[in-house]
Amino acid sequence: MTYKLPDLPYDKSALEPVIDAHTMALHHDKHHAAYVNNLNKAVENYPDVQERSPLSLIVNLDNVPEEIRTAVRNNGGGHVNHSMFWLCMSPNGGGAPSGSLGDAIDKQFGSFQDFQAALKNEAMDRFGSGWAWLCADSDGKLQVTSTANQDNPVMTGQIPLLGIDVWEHAYYLGYQNRRGDYIDAWWDVVDWSYVSSSYNLVRVGAKLDDLGDWASKQWSKVEEAWNKISGS
């Protein structure tokens, strides 16, 4: 097994009532696990590809052999997106970001409430399955966007800071067709300290003209967070 399913950073019931334990169990143990398994299957006969982090793979899909490119896009994207999604949430989450991220959000969107409305619009407008994101563009400027399926903003040169999964598997047991209610409730579990640390990496650590450099730093940060979890 080249790529591994990380443990959830909290109990499956920890995000209740926003996200119920059954949804978390299926989402992590079945859906995320399937992306990891299928990514491993796709790269089985490609030792050079296996050496790269999942984030590096999707940052530059052109460097992935064509015959496995779609599988890596879907399953590598799924692995990366979910790995970050779990870390972007916490039972102690909610509120609004402070510091440089809070300032940047106010500057770009007018207010935190305006930002929330803009992200919700992206999430509601995404037809079918996908994600909505807060990203930094190549100038470090914040913006909201959405992606289809398991695509990630890095595939179009943007740096993802916070993403919300709007596949039905993420909310259907608790909210059925009410995607808007799920989004409204989700703000209560967003871990702004983690999102801020990702933003600070963009501000000070990574060259925005070099997404590969950012990818290796960001993925180290993700792995560091997982190691802390499994070590505790």
> How far are the Cα atoms of 66, 110, 122, 134, 157 from residue 180, in angstroms, in the given order?
38, 22, 11, 17, 28
Q: Which stretch binds Mn ion (CB under 5 A): 2-10, 105-113, 157-165, 193-201?
A: 157-165
Q: How far is the CB of 48 from Mn ion (least distance, A)?
A: 29
Q: Does 151 engage in binding with Mn ion (CB under 5 A)? A: no
**Cβ–Cβ < 8 Å for 35, 83:** no
What are 29's two structure tokens? 């143990």
Write each residue from 90 to 129 as x if it is in contact with Mn ion (CB under 5 A), else as -, in one continuous string.
Answer: ----------------------------------------
Q: Which stretch binds Mn ion (CB under 5 A): 97-105, 108-116, 166-174, 180-188?
A: 166-174
Burial class (CB within 10 angstroms; exposed 0-12, middle 13-18, buried 19+) of 210:
exposed
Question: Between residues 151 and 165, which has the closer beta carbon with respect to Mn ion?
Answer: 165
Q: How far is the CB of 54 from Mn ion (least distance, A)?
A: 15
Q: How far is the CB of 165 from Mn ion (least distance, A)?
A: 4
Residues in the interface with Mn ion (CB under 5 A) total: 3
SS (H, E, C) 15-55: CCCCCCHHHHHHHHHHHHHHHHHHHHHHHCCCHHHHCCCHH
Q: How far is the CB of 4 from Mn ion (least distance, A)?
A: 17
Nearest alpha-carbon partner for 22 in 130, 131, 172: 172
Q: Which stretch binds Mn ion (CB under 5 A): 114-122, 127-135, 148-156, 160-168?
A: 160-168
Residue entry with tokens 């800071």 = 161
- Any residues with CB less than 8 A from the CB of 178 and at least 6 apart, and which? 171
| Residue of 19, 73, 164, 165 interacting with Mn ion (CB under 5 A) | 165
Chain residues in the site for Mn ion (CB under 5 A): 165, 167, 170
